[in-house]
Amino acid sequence: MGMTITEKILAAHAGKESVVPGELINAKVDMVLGNDITAPVAIKEFEKIGVDKVFDQEKIALVPDHFTPNKDIKSAEQVKTVREFARKFGIVNYFEVGEMGVEHCLLPEKGLVIPGDLVIGADSHTCTYGALGAFSTGVGSTDMAAGMALGEAWFKVPESIKFIYYGKLPRWVGGKDIILYTIGKIGVDGALYKAMEFTGETISELSMDGRFTMANMAIEAGAKNGIFAVDQKTIAYVKPRTNRKFTVYESDADAKYSEVYEWDLSDLEPQIAFPHLPENTKPLSQCGNVTIDQAVIGSCTNGRIEDLRVAAAVLKGKRVNPNVRLLIIPGTQAVWRQAMHEGLFDIFMDAGAAISTPTCGPCLGGHMGILAKGERAIATTNRNFVGRMGHPESEVYLAGPAIAAASAIAGKIAGPEEVGVK
């Protein structure tokens, strides 16, 4: 019996010729990731282990991105804990304010994850790196602590679901719409503890930024990981960023999948997830009149340069509705600089948007755009649970950057055509 990409990566890192779904394994990891919320807990657990060094100073990444720049004393103390740990143990990949970005944008950009890697991170959206043909998954802070000490973790090998997409995407439709459509079809537990393997002609044409967006939200369907086969786009992205040798894995023709879904996306409309679950999706034409108070374009889902370019294409020559606050949050310093050099910031500022330094910001109800009672936001973020962006009686609608930008102009959920953009 053949194996899937996910099974092959897990087998290789466990030192086994093959693995099967449901099997429990110990596997060596290529990267252990933590942020300013999860790493302090892991550090406390690490100290209980009683070791005097980490397993590899270059295979740990600490990115204080959730509440930074620090919003209050507590967040400052959390980052101080991470900073002092990084200094004490010589962690090479600690990213201070001014160098850091949103972790799941930053690590691929820095070449810290490559095809065939096995990555664990104390953050649920660690599954983002499946876009590179890596197995990556979120873990708890105690597993992160053990990973930093031992360089390995235990796993139950997941079953895999294959998603095959056909057709050329319409204008203004991208990776965010594909993954929202998918989650809308299978539900937030439709891939529970399974690998979501994304394939098909539509995926072959999808940019790396679009793939990162899709892999990022695999967890929103309950998946253990999301993963893409490596192709020339992947290699073109990775090669300039690393000197490490990487292994390309492909699913065997006789690999076993628990389910296979096939969809033609030729006529796919922009998708919007209504409160309070990512599965509560509707096509744009069925959204009705939903007024908004805030629009957020950024996060580990849609804070990359392609996302900002799409937003700028919609906003150019337009003004944000006077009743709406538009926040633009580039994913990394490099994205910030590139957007500035391309003139995107001028477009955003002329439109009346506020531009932030890279941070997770309001995505998790952190800072830089918290919602008050009764307010609504449309956001390119990945979750819209109750109270996710502020007050428990606020509402978050999830969408891609084109819809978020157009909605900021219209003052209600709208597409680019509705605000005069073709």
Domain shared by 200 and 293, yes or no = no
Domain shared by 94 and 224, yes or no = yes
Q: What integer is the mean pLDDT of 206-227? A: 97
Is residue 422 situated within a structural domain? no
For residue 106, the model assigns a pLDDT of: 97
Span 140-191, pLDDT tens digits: 999 999 999 999 999 999 999 999 999 999 999 999 999 999 999 999 999 9
Bridge partner residues of 281 (DSSP): 273
Domain shared by 293 and 388, yes or no = yes
Answer yes or no: are the C-beta atoms of 318 and 400 closer than 8 Å.
Answer: no
Is residue 52 situated within a structural domain? yes
Beta strands (DSSP E) in 36-86 are 60-63
Domain shared by 104 and 82, yes or no = yes
Is residue 194 situated within a structural domain? yes
Q: Which of 372, 379, 418, 394 is nearest to 273 (CA)?
A: 379
Domain shared by 255 and 277, yes or no = no
**What DSSP assignment string belongs to 112-146?**
-S-TT-EEEESSGGGGGGGGGT-EEEE--HHHHHH
Domain shared by 304 and 391, yes or no = yes
Span 298-334, pLDDT tens digits: 999 999 999 999 999 999 999 999 999 999 999 999 9
> At CA 210, angle to CA 403 and CA 325, rounded to 5?
30
Domain shared by 241 and 279, yes or no = no
Domain shared by 10 and 126, yes or no = yes
For residue 200, the model assigns a pLDDT of: 97
Is residue 164 situated within a structural domain? yes
Residue with tokens 């690393």: 242
Q: Which of 134, 309, 282, 304 is nearest to 213 (CA)?
A: 304
For residue 385, the model assigns a pLDDT of: 85
Domain boundary among 262, 283, 315: 262
Domain shared by 248 and 291, yes or no = no
Counted domains in the chain: 2
Residue with tokens 């409309």: 269
Is residue 267 situated within a structural domain? no
Which CATH number characterizes residue 385's domain?
Answer: 3.30.499.10
Domain shared by 111 and 227, yes or no = yes
- 1, pLDDT greater than 90: no
Provide φ and ψ at 99, rounded to 5°: -120, -25
- 378, pLDDT greater than 90: yes
Q: First CA to last CA across the chain, in angstroms?
A: 50
- 410, pLDDT greater than 90: yes
Domain shared by 107 and 250, yes or no = yes
Task: Tell me how far apart the alpha carbons of residues 36 and 62 are, in angstroms, rounded to a whole number.
Answer: 8
Q: What is the largest CA-CA distance in the chain?
A: 63
For residue 366, the model assigns a pLDDT of: 85
- 420, pLDDT greater than 90: no
The residue segments making up the domain with residue 387 are 272-417
Beta strands (DSSP E) in 5-134 are 24-28, 31-35, 60-63, 93-94, 118-121
Span 264-289, pLDDT tens digits: 999 999 999 999 999 999 999 999 99
Task: Tell me how far apart the alpha carbons of residues 173 and 223 are, in angstroms, rounded to a whole number.
Answer: 23
For residue 365, the model assigns a pLDDT of: 83
Is residue 340 situated within a structural domain? yes
Domain shared by 159 and 290, yes or no = no
For residue 409, the model assigns a pLDDT of: 98
